[in-house]
Structure 1
Amino acid sequence: MSTGIDLGRPSSGDVIDLITEDHRRFEKLLAQLRDGTADRDAVRRAFAHVLIAHGEAEEELVYPVLARRSDDVGGDEVEHGREEHAEGNEALLAVLELKGTDTQAFADAVEHLSNLVAHHIAEEELTILKPARQEVPENVRFELGEKWSARRNELISQNCGTEANVRRIVNAAQRSGLLDEDG
């Protein structure tokens, strides 16, 4: 996946810091999507790869460990995080499906996506990451950071943010009940 946009390729670190760094990356890419001077098509493709890789690696590797290792991060927080990932992925699909990037429909879809992502970032950082930083031992967080980074980077290399793959992920979320029927 090559867009000329820095997607970040971490290889190690505290998983909490790595996830938070990606959150800041999301905010920058979303700002570029709203910027009429940016190559919006390249930015949306880059954003799609990072968002999907981040969330898939997080759900697969990080959420289960944090839920087991932290008294304050339970199944409800993890399930809510998964639901918010699904909602963000559904909004991302709407952005990817639009043909042009200079339309009101595109601006509206990006605004909806931005609002969902901003809400998720704030909530995840407060209800999952903050307690995990305090309750999960540093060595576990660094081990998770290495695993999460490797999986995230692998998914980006596999072009995980393609419209077809995002549609597959959204359809799976709908089938599993993570998304409302009316979407």
Structure 2
Amino acid sequence: MTTYEIPRPTEGDVVDLILDDHRLFETLLRDLRDSTADREAARAALSAVLIAHGEAEEEKVYTQLRRKDAITEHEAEHGEEEHAEGNEALLALLECKGTDTQKFDDAVEELATALNHHIGEEEQTILNPARTDVSEDVRLKLGKEWAKRRSELLDEDCGDIENVRRIVKKAEREGLLDDDED
């Protein structure tokens, strides 16, 4: 089985680090659409990096940007809702038995739609203000904290289907997911 090398940065501007992951998501989604690619490995890599990325963002970045008034509480909450929607779509993809079915292809597109929407909005409403309203020193500090937490989560096999199920259930309990979508 092919394995994907997930970059493990240890420092940098948090905006650049998050953007690097966004580009990685796009690459992995392309591979998930490619019937000649190792879709199982791409699915495992995307699950791991997507969960680590989002959880680290919510724990280390969104709270700090709110404190710095770079983003509003609403923007942070909306980002968390979109993470929950992406995680729900990820779970549906992980629950597909094979990678050569229409159900799998549909699940990839559902996840791609959720992710692409979130990436676009986050880059405009959260990362742009972080670039302009937060000092470079703070962005570097956040980058180090985010990268450290992201690596810890990757080490904990955060993309495991049982962990993704737990995260989605927690989001449901917290009201981050619409009940009418099931």
| TM-score, length of structure 1 as denominator length | 0.97
Query: What amino acid sits opposite 1:144 in the alignment?
Result: L
Which residue does 2:122 correspond to in 1?
Answer: 124
- 1:4 shift after superposition: 2.2
Tell me the CA shift for residue 3 of structure 1: 5.9
Q: Distance in 1 between matches of 2:17 and 2:104?
A: 30
Report if the CA contact (8 A) 1:5-1:43 is conserved: yes
- Partner in structure 1 of residue 75 of structure 2: 77
> Cα distance 1:53–1:3, how it changes in 2: closer, same or farther (>3 A)?
farther
Letter in 2 for 1:136: V
Say which SS state the counterpart of residue 182 (structure 1) adopts: helix
How far did residue 67 of structure 1 move? 1.2
Q: Assess if the C-alpha contact under 8 Å between 2:40 and 2:99 holds in 1.
A: yes
Gaps of 5+ in 2: none
Change (3 A) 1:146 1:3: farther
How many residues align? The count is 181
Q: Indicate how the Cα distance of structure 1 residues 98 and 119 shifts in structure 2: closer, same or farther if over 3 A, else same.
A: same
> What does 1:1-183 correspond to in 2, within 5 Å?
4-71=3-70, 73-183=71-181
Tell me which amino acid in the other structure corresponds to 1:37: T
- TM-score (ref. length: structure 2): 0.97
The Cα shift of 1:6 comes to 1.7
SS in 2 for 1:13: coil
Q: Which amino acid aligns with 1:55?
A: G
Paired with 2:101 and 2:156, the residues of 1 have a C-alpha distance of 30
- CA distance in 1: counterparts of 2:169 and 2:146, whole angstroms: 24
Query: Contact (CA 8 Å) 1:3, 1:46: kept in 2 or not?
Result: no
Q: Counterpart of 2:45 in structure 1: which amino acid?
A: A
Deviation at 1:70, TM superposition (A): 3.0
SS of 1:177's equivalent in the other structure is coil
Q: Aligned with 1:170: secondary structure?
A: helix
CA distance in structure 2 between the partners assigned to 1:49 and 1:168 by the alignment:
14
Alignment partners' CA distance in 1, 2:2 and 2:145: 25
- Aligned partners of 1:70 and 1:132 also within 8 Å: no
Q: Give deviations 1:97-119, integer Å, cap 9, x for gaps.
A: 01010000000010010011000
Letter in 1 for 2:139: R
Per-residue CA shift, 1:64-98, capped at 9, x if unaligned? 00111134x10010000000000000000000001
What's the Cα RMSD here?
1.1
* Contact 1:68–1:74, Cα closer than 8 Å, also in 2: no
Task: Give the whole-Å Cα distance in 2 for the aligned partners of 1:3 and 1:119.
Answer: 29
Other structure's SS at 2:8 match: coil
- The Cα of 1:7 is off from its aligned counterpart by 1.0
- Structure 1, gaps ≥5 residues long: none
Question: Which structure 1 residue ranges, 4+ long, deviate > 6 Å from structure 2?
Answer: none
